[in-house]
A and B are shown apart, each in its own frame.
Chain A
Amino acid sequence: MNRMYTDDPKNRTEEFFSIASSMKQNYSTNKTKNDNTIKNSKTKKNEFFQITSQIGKQIHLTCLKLSDLSKLAKSTSLYNDPTHQIQILTHEIKEEIQTLNRQLESVEILASHNTGKQNRQTTQHTNQIVGSLKGQLANTTQSFQGVLRERTENLKKQQERRSKFMDNSSFFFSANNNTSSRKISYAMDESKTNSTNLGFDIDIIENTNNNFNSQNSLQTVSYRESRVNVVEDIEKTIHEIGTIFSRLANLIQNQDTQIEWIDQNVDETLENIEQGERELRKYSESIGSNRWLIFKIFAILIVFILIFVLIM
């Protein structure tokens, strides 16, 4: 029964034969065993096989979706990037893998319950089924990881190609994308150790995709930002000019008082000099008019000296 889920699902003749043979066996063993126990074990076995067949079918569907995703991820055109579809697909595949994990775990528990009442061969059989389903799920998760890795490498290449054309405004983008792609690889290494459990976050991939989409809008933003910056600079310069003018006015006002001082001083000087000139004139007039007196005084002095000399 294990081979059925890997082969083409349309060809189910072998499954039919096996079911027919198993039913024949059941029918033949029915005669030798007790009915209740047979019914119990049969229902349990049927349940078990139904669940496992469902799980197998879902694994196959997931495989198909994964092949679609890998085709999309391989597309490497610079302009038409099917990121939206890729995101949807990865999200779906991730959810399906998680549900399949849970179902497999419940099947395992069911099988362990059943082993008490089954004989050795059926336990071996169920264990084999569970093991093979686990293996198939592990294979799908591995291929999923491989597809995601391809996708990140493609994104990196696209980014490099874009950076050859574009401005340095996308410079910090490449740094950002390096960190996010590193995160993806780290998470995938984590999940490698645990083959049945996926531990990584697809939101990281969504973030890189969003980064690429917003690159175009960043250019329009930077054009507007540059205009805004220029206008802000002009505003600053006008403000500076205003402060310079006010400083100028202050200086000139201070110099005004100094000029008044100078004016006062010069006026005083003028006055003093005029008065001094008047005094001097008076003095010179007085000296000039005084000469006769001086002559008279000198004459009297000379007379006294003559008298003094005549007496001696």
Chain B
Amino acid sequence: MKIISLCLFQWRGNNITEPKLLATGFESSTFGFFKKKTVKEWCEFVSFTLAKRTNESQRQSVKEKDYICHVYNRFDNLSAIVICDDEYPRRVAFSLINKVMDDFMDIYGNKFGDLEDYPFEQIVQLLNKFQDPNQADKLSKIQRTLDETTIILQDTIEKVLKRGENLEILVDRSELLSNQSKQFYRVAKKHNRCCTIC
């Protein structure tokens, strides 16, 4: 499962009639050399149309050929679109959208709407980071760690049960030993008392 592109738009503003592209990131290594440019243009076009057609504070997921496009228009004029294949979990895509928008606002929060150009290199890093949804998304990471922990715990319980069995065997054997040693002592004592002559 992978992400093809991640685009950030400003879909509403002072003198903005249609969404303005702020930053994009592409992962086009799976496409052939000659297809890369068309894929990029297609992604931008689809993202633009979706950003235009989505209402405020609305999340949408649209299926287009083999890919699914997730879009979220936020109330503070930002809109992010993620295009990924259909195996990529929806929740992780939307968490990526949230993270991108938060990072962007961290850098440009005060000056948003004033500047012309917003260079935002982290978008590519985020895109690469989220290629593996289990690693990047905190919720799924937590869940995976917890699952591993349960497996380890189950292993531990099995080992403890085996230990219990061994301990029982040890108890029996040590009882036997102690009885035998008692008999040995008794016999030795008896020898001493009565067999003094022979």
Question: Does residue B178 face the partner (Cβ distance < 8 Å to A)?
Answer: yes
Cα A268 to Cα B177 with chains together (Å): 9
Q: Once the chains bind, are B150 and A237 in contact (CB under 8 Å)?
A: yes
Shortest beta-carbon distance from B93 to chain A in Å: 10
Question: Does residue A311 face the partner (Cβ distance < 8 Å to B)?
Answer: no
A240 CB contacts on chain B under 8 angstroms: 150
Question: Does residue B105 face the partner (Cβ distance < 8 Å to A)?
Answer: no
Question: Does residue B147 face the partner (Cβ distance < 8 Å to A)?
Answer: yes
Q: Once the chains bind, are A237 and B163 in contact (CB under 8 Å)?
A: no
B175 CB contacts on chain A under 8 angstroms: 261, 265
Q: Once the chains bind, are A248 and B157 in contact (CB under 8 Å)?
A: yes
Q: Once the chains bind, are A244 and B150 in contact (CB under 8 Å)?
A: yes
Query: In residues 267-288 of chain A, which contact B (Cβ within 8 Å)?
Result: 268-273, 275-276, 279-280, 282-283, 286
Q: Closest B residue to A248 by CB, please name it.
A: B157
Question: Does residue B146 face the partner (Cβ distance < 8 Å to A)?
Answer: yes
Q: A223-B90, A227-B91 are in contact. Are A251 and B157 (CB under 8 A)?
A: yes
Shortest beta-carbon distance from A39 to chain B in Å: 68
Q: Once the chains bind, are B58 and A216 in contact (CB under 8 Å)?
A: yes
Q: How many residues of B contact A (CB 8 A)?
A: 50
Q: Once the chains bind, are B178 and A241 in contact (CB under 8 Å)?
A: no
Residue among B63, B139, B163, B184 making CB contact with A166, cutoff 8 Å? B63
Q: Once the chains bind, are B149 and A241 in contact (CB under 8 Å)?
A: yes
Shortest beta-carbon distance from B18 to chain A in Å: 15
Q: Once the chains bind, are B143 and A265 in contact (CB under 8 Å)?
A: no
Q: Once the chains bind, are B192 and A220 in contact (CB under 8 Å)?
A: no
Q: Which segment of B75-83, B116-124, B166-174 sits at the interface?
A: B166-174
B188 CB contacts on chain A under 8 angstroms: 275-276, 279-280, 283
Q: Closest B residue to A256 by CB, please name it.
A: B167
Residue among B53, B174, B181, B195 making CB contact with A272, cutoff 8 Å? B181
Q: A220-B59, A223-B59 are in contact. Are A241 and B174 (CB under 8 A)?
A: no
Number of interchain pairs (Cβ within 8 Å) = 131
Question: Does residue A36 face the partner (Cβ distance < 8 Å to B)?
Answer: no
Residue among A234, A266, A271, A283 making CB contact with B174, cutoff 8 Å? A266
Shortest beta-carbon distance from A263 to chain B in Å: 8
A167 CB contacts on chain B under 8 angstroms: 61, 63, 68, 90
B192 CB contacts on chain A under 8 angstroms: 279, 282-283, 286
Q: Once the chains bind, are B94 and A223 in contact (CB under 8 Å)?
A: yes
Q: Once the chains bind, are B157 and A247 in contact (CB under 8 Å)?
A: yes
Q: Closest A residue to B190 by CB, please name it.
A: A279
Query: In residues 242-270 of chain A, which contact B (Cβ within 8 Å)?
Result: 244-245, 247-248, 251-252, 254-255, 258-259, 261-262, 265-266, 268-270
Q: Once the chains bind, are A231 and B62 in contact (CB under 8 Å)?
A: no
Q: Once the chains bind, are A258 and B177 in contact (CB under 8 Å)?
A: no
B123-157 vs A, Cβ < 8 Å mask (1 yes, 0 no): 00000000000000001101100110110011011
Question: Does residue B189 face the partner (Cβ distance < 8 Å to A)?
Answer: yes
Q: A248-B160, A279-B192, A283-B191 are in contact. Are A266 and B150 (CB under 8 A)?
A: no
Query: In residues 44-80 of chain B, which contact A (Cβ within 8 Å)?
Result: 53, 55, 57-64, 68
Question: Does residue A171 face the partner (Cβ distance < 8 Å to B)?
Answer: no
Shortest beta-carbon distance from B142 to chain A in Å: 6
Cα A220 to Cα B56 with chains together (Å): 12
A259 CB contacts on chain B under 8 angstroms: 167
Q: Once the chains bind, are B62 and A166 in contact (CB under 8 Å)?
A: yes
Question: Does residue A226 face the partner (Cβ distance < 8 Å to B)?
Answer: yes
A258 CB contacts on chain B under 8 angstroms: 164, 167-168, 170-171
Q: Once the chains bind, are B59 and A268 in contact (CB under 8 Å)?
A: no
Cα A270 to Cα B143 with chains together (Å): 53
Q: Closest A residue to B55 by CB, please name it.
A: A216
Cα A68 to Cα B162 with chains together (Å): 83
Residue among B60, B94, B142, B184 making CB contact with A234, cutoff 8 Å? B142
Question: Does residue A203 face the partner (Cβ distance < 8 Å to B)?
Answer: no
Question: Does residue A79 face the partner (Cβ distance < 8 Å to B)?
Answer: yes
Cα A165 to Cα B153 with chains together (Å): 44
* Seed contacts A230-B91, A286-B196; 11 additional CB < 8 Å A-B pairs: A219-B59, A226-B90, A227-B91, A237-B150, A255-B163, A262-B171, A265-B174, A269-B178, A272-B182, A275-B188, A279-B191
24 A-B contact pairs sorted by A residue (CB < 8 Å)? A165-B63, A166-B61, A166-B62, A166-B63, A167-B68, A220-B57, A226-B90, A227-B139, A237-B143, A237-B150, A241-B150, A248-B153, A251-B157, A251-B161, A258-B167, A258-B168, A261-B174, A268-B178, A269-B177, A269-B178, A270-B181, A279-B189, A283-B191, A283-B192
A-to-B contact residues, CB < 8 Å:
79, 164-167, 216, 219-220, 223, 226-227, 230-231, 233-234, 237-238, 240-241, 244-245, 247-248, 251-252, 254-255, 258-259, 261-262, 265-266, 268-273, 275-276, 279-280, 282-283, 286, 290
